[in-house]
Amino acid sequence: MKLIFEKHKEGRVGFTYTKADVPLALPLEAKYCRKADVHLASLSELDVVRHYTNLSRLNFSVDTNFYPLGSYTMKYNPKFTERIASLEGFSQVHPLLPQLLGGGMLAQGSLEVLFETERLLSEITGMSAFTMQPLAGAHGELAGAMLIAAYHKDKGSRRKYVIVPDSSHGTNPASAAIAGYQVKVIPTGPDGYMDLVEYQKHLNNEVAAVMLTCPDTLGIFNPQIKKIADMAHEVGALMYYDGANLNAMLGKARPGDLGFDVVHLNLHKTFATPHGGGGPGSGPVGVSESLVEFLPIPRIVRRSDGTFALDYHRHKSVGYIAPFYGNFGVILKAYAYMLKLGKEGLIQAAELAVLNANYCRVKLREHYDLPFDKICMHECVFSASRQAKNGVHAIDIAKYLIDKGYHPPTVYFPLIVKEALMIEPTETESKETLDEFIEIMIEIARLSKENPILVTQAPLHTPVKRLDETKAAREPNLRWQQ
């Protein structure tokens, strides 16, 4: 496909207008005028429309193709939530309005959405209160780590360490380190669970928190999670819940009931708001009763007359962690999603996500290595080590899937699985879609034995073929030059 500059034809015009017969009150300053040396493409209106329409058809999206990396990163976004977020009463509210004299009454609907979303998330997770301010999951992690630090400081307890498993998301140790802690990593045992013997060795009164994903990044629910929490609490440490995988537990288990003290959620994952391509995200943080007083300001409170207001008078608060009140549009979509599905709907979403992942696990385990072959939650982690013996690596499988019209699953994560392929179908994909994807994965496994070069050369049918990835990263060519 040619660039629009390459379609330029001198003298061709796509739009004309008559000369204004009313003089400008003030002439435009030179800085606002187009410079003579700007080379814009000259095309007809039809050429422009076709160019951008065809360009849009090259986009890969969950509306057009299957993403087997769903609830962790990109699952289907119901269109009704987009309509609700675009309602003028929400989309046109200025963020400063609640802080202006009398403006709070004009933003009561928006404040109520934030307040009620906090209450719904508190019920779902078993937490006492939430802040909606964090702008992404990693931002929520950092906010949670700051709350943990404030809690220990308030108690006069000097804590230096945060414990994470070796299968943790990379943002976990990063967030802990930014918050001023040293990180201790606990290995995964042969059963796929965090090694409790090693865990016990590292637990002492210098540990501030234990950061866990539940179910973990291998897609496995640890049946000893309550014991892990009790062990942490015995030394005065707090339990931190990375909510990236909450989609598997909706309505089935609450992190608070499992012993977690701090929870961050990814509204842009579990609760079906757009993600990918840079955002937008939303990572609200919930806490147990003992940490409520440290939550960021402002807090949204319900007054005695039933109206809502912003409360800045929290002297133990960690202060501001984001401008205003979080990514409001994302929060609004999540609120609508929860109201639409209700309790039973959220439970069904979790059940179908787990069912779909296990369907893929059973159908593909004869064709790919499965390091931990047990019932999984909403994701199953395979290894392409068997295919790698024939020169076909996880990255090659990913590129072949692109050629076949599927977005690749997460590859090379978690890091403890060699040639990892993490498959997350989510709850919204049909059996027919899964069967088609499974057939392609079986085809790749067969080709890896019989004709591996067909896989290693992919993609062959995309606008951009296989790139030199190192060169593309180090020497990106992002600007057209005549």
User: pLDDT tens digit string along 57-115?
Assistant: 888 888 888 989 866 667 888 889 989 999 999 999 999 998 887 888 889 999 999 99
d(CA 223, CA 377): 12
pLDDT of residue 185: 97
Cis peptide upstream of residue 215 (ω within 30 degrees of 0): yes
| Angle of helix 137-154 versus helix 171-178 axis, rounded to 10 | 40
pLDDT of residue 102: 80
pLDDT of residue 468: 86
Do the Cβ atoms of 424 and 357 come closer than 8 Å? yes
A 10 A CB-CB count for 184 gives 20
Q: What is the pTM of this model?
A: 0.90
pLDDT of residue 72: 64
pLDDT of residue 69: 84
Give the residues of the chain that fall short of pLDDT 70.
24, 36, 70-73, 274-279, 482
Per DSSP, what are the bridge partners of residue 243? Answer: 265
Specify whether domain 79-339 bears CATH 3.40.640.10: yes
The answer for residues whose C-beta is within 8 angstroms of residue 53's C-beta and 6 or more apart is: none
Greatest C-alpha distance within the chain:
84
A 10 A CB-CB count for 182 gives 12
d(CA 65, CA 50): 22
Domain ranges of the chain: 4-56, 79-339, 352-472
Q: Tell me which CATH code domain 352-472 carries.
A: 3.90.1150.10
| DSSP-based three-state secondary structure for 447 | helix
Do the Cβ atoms of 276 and 257 come closer than 8 Å? no
Nearest to 383 by CA among 339, 357, 412, 420: 420
pLDDT of residue 73: 65
Cis peptide upstream of residue 280 (ω within 30 degrees of 0): yes
Do the Cβ atoms of 272 and 77 come closer than 8 Å? yes
Do the Cβ atoms of 195 and 187 come closer than 8 Å? yes
Instruction: Please classify residue 358 by burial: count the beta carbons closer than 10 Å to its beta carbon, then call 0-12 exposed, 13-18 middle and 19+ buried.
Output: middle
pLDDT of residue 279: 65
d(CA 171, CA 255): 20
The answer for residues whose C-beta is within 8 angstroms of residue 230's C-beta and 6 or more apart is: 259
Q: How far apart are the first and last CA of the chain?
A: 17
A 10 A CB-CB count for 336 gives 22
Amino acid at 427: E
Nearest to 401 by CA among 379, 417, 418, 384: 384
Do the Cβ atoms of 103 and 300 come closer than 8 Å? no
Do the Cβ atoms of 219 and 422 come closer than 8 Å? yes
pLDDT of residue 362: 98
d(CA 198, CA 216): 17
Instruction: Please classify residue 46 by burial: count the beta carbons closer than 10 Å to its beta carbon, then call 0-12 exposed, 13-18 middle and 19+ buried.
Output: exposed
H or E element at residue 467: none
